[in-house]
Structure 1
């Protein structure tokens, strides 16, 4: 059974329109810092990351720093659209995003301040912005989750293009409203070209796709044996396996061929809004996100790839550099509006 879609068409239209407006005015540069940082012991965070994943880390930061964090949680794409609408009047000082695409769109609109070198240079090139407007925080690989009771990894295609073939009609599920899925489609457009991406989306929509609200629901369907394969981020499987034991997981993971758009490593990341360029509290929080302590938290609690050199990835994951597509610059994932319009055209969101 298909679950409810995460976006209403009205919300989609507003988001697409705002992002399209951003894409149409790409010339603005991020604000440059100037003067001495000031602090009032509090700041507002817009978080496109789930509360259950990020709030424990925020609690730790508040306890250690004494800084109060006022958090607004929401879907990454919707919060990105809200920030574009609010512009310089936004109450937010920091945006924490589920994917690089939303960060790129806001950077292109000139809404982010330039980060100081100690934050901007903490993460290796390829996993962060090219203009120091935002910093990557964690890496997450796109994977295929499959029913291990019915299939083996060898039964599955090695490229995402093959999962829209008639053989997989009604057997594939995913959350099309999810920011990471939309960034994957954007990557497909960048890597394979607009025509190839549209053909893939058209085939996907016409292949009795099973639509889910989020990655967790997709994983659950596979783990319960009601769905053969799904497209998700890797860490959802690792989180559930840590709770119930990997040996008790019916769902299993397959990493697609290196360089394939279906195996991209996207990043979560954070940027400081331009009006908060000298907000010492906001700066301290973003600096904390790329600290060894926070990076270790992400490894141990959310099972994501750390981006800070010297922090080991969770056990059982392929080496990060074995998954990276050298032809893809994450900064090129900023055109979310075209991707959303494409998905809407074929009734997926």
Structure 2
């Protein structure tokens, strides 16, 4: 019998409702997603259910490695990752429980594992941030591959440690081959400017340090909230037409099989893709909801107009290969 089910049975025998029993539980969430985003979702979940959530924060890859080291003794009930690769690593090891069918029905099939081992919670796309005082929109190339060419020397910023940048590299491997991906990375190393984060890259474009930067869409909105939309010299260019520069990625979550609170963990996973959970998410961050019918307050380009490449999470989930490619290109 699942631990959660046992708890409900004892509570009911004592005349306490199952919901009240859940309120006496604390869910442990290993969180690699941005702290503000997760806090908004967790607050909404606790407000609706009364269930407390203890959040352990860290880098997504580091948290996944910690779970592997902890094994069945891990205190984690749910793992929420900013990037897909760490969750795929746990799924490949058979460490994740299958999400309830009712949860999987809430989102399109492409936003969840085929076997239900994880669900996408939000989506984000790769974009090009550009300074309108330094370059015209029509001068931007039609493929992200061109930004590695010598004519872009000292004109393009990028974040090689970003999980989504690595996913973009793996997309190039899938679409154009390993040699093309390594050449692209080497070109960026030789000609581009490295930033230590996407916010810093957007700010660099805004300040005129570089005309363009390869980033995730939602970081533009973070900077714009700080200085005002009307002061943004930096704007976003969506490449589209299934180019690797238009990659759409997911922030996923999964339940640990070792969790002794399976029922409550399933309830939390279901809340992540519920109307209330998705609204709490999009109100907090300019990412795309995975649940249809949820409206973001941010001026996002409609997801059905992004025209991303036909790449699945499994196609870009090989973190080991991404690191090997970076080392080969001299970016480690």
Among candidates 266, 271, 275, match of residue 288 of structure 1: 271
CA contact (8 A) 1:113 1:277 kept: no
Where do 4+ consecutive residues of structure 1 move more than 4 Å?
A: 37-40
Deviation of 1:57 after TM superposition, in Å, equals: 2.5
SS of residue paired to 2:127 = strand
Answer yes or no: is 1:225 the counterpart of 2:214. no
Equivalents in 1 of 2:261, 2:283: separation in Å? 32
Deviation of 1:319 after TM superposition, in Å, equals: 2.4
Give unmatched runs, 5+ long, in structure 2. Answer: 8-21
SS of residue paired to 2:208 = coil
Deviation of 1:121 after TM superposition, in Å, equals: 2.3
Aligned CA RMSD, in angstroms, stands at 2.1
Aligned to 1:94: 78
Give unmatched runs, 5+ long, in structure 1. Answer: 1-32
SS of residue paired to 1:137 = strand
Aligned to 1:235: 218
SS of residue paired to 2:109 = coil
Equivalents in 1 of 2:36, 2:4: separation in Å? 36
Deviations 1:324-347 (A, max 9, x none): 446311222221111112112323
TM-score normalised to the size of structure 2? 0.88
Aligned to 2:242: 259
Aligned to 1:80: 64
Equivalents in 2 of 1:343, 1:168: separation in Å? 20
Aligned to 2:282: 299
Equivalents in 1 of 2:210, 2:37: separation in Å? 25
Aligned residues: 316
CA contact (8 A) 2:80 2:251 kept: yes
Answer yes or no: is 1:157 the counterpart of 2:147. no
TM-score normalised to the size of structure 1? 0.84
Deviations 1:23-70 (A, max 9, x none): xxxxxxxxxx89947555112111111213322322232233222211
Equivalents in 2 of 1:223, 1:35: separation in Å? 50
CA contact (8 A) 2:131 2:211 kept: yes
Deviations 1:78-108 (A, max 9, x none): 2222223333332211111112222222211
Deviation of 1:291 after TM superposition, in Å, equals: 1.2
Write the mapping of 1:98-137 to structure 2, written as runs, cut at 5 A: 98-137=82-121
CA contact (8 A) 2:44 2:276 kept: no
Deviation of 1:247 after TM superposition, in Å, equals: 1.6
- Structure 1 or 2, whichever has the larger Rg, is 2
Aligned to 1:274: 257
Write the mapping of 1:1-349 to structure 2, written as runs, cut at 5 A: 36=5, 38=7, 41-207=25-191, 209-276=192-259, 279-314=262-297, 316-325=299-308, 327-349=310-332
CA contact (8 A) 1:128 1:330 kept: no
CA contact (8 A) 1:104 1:333 kept: no
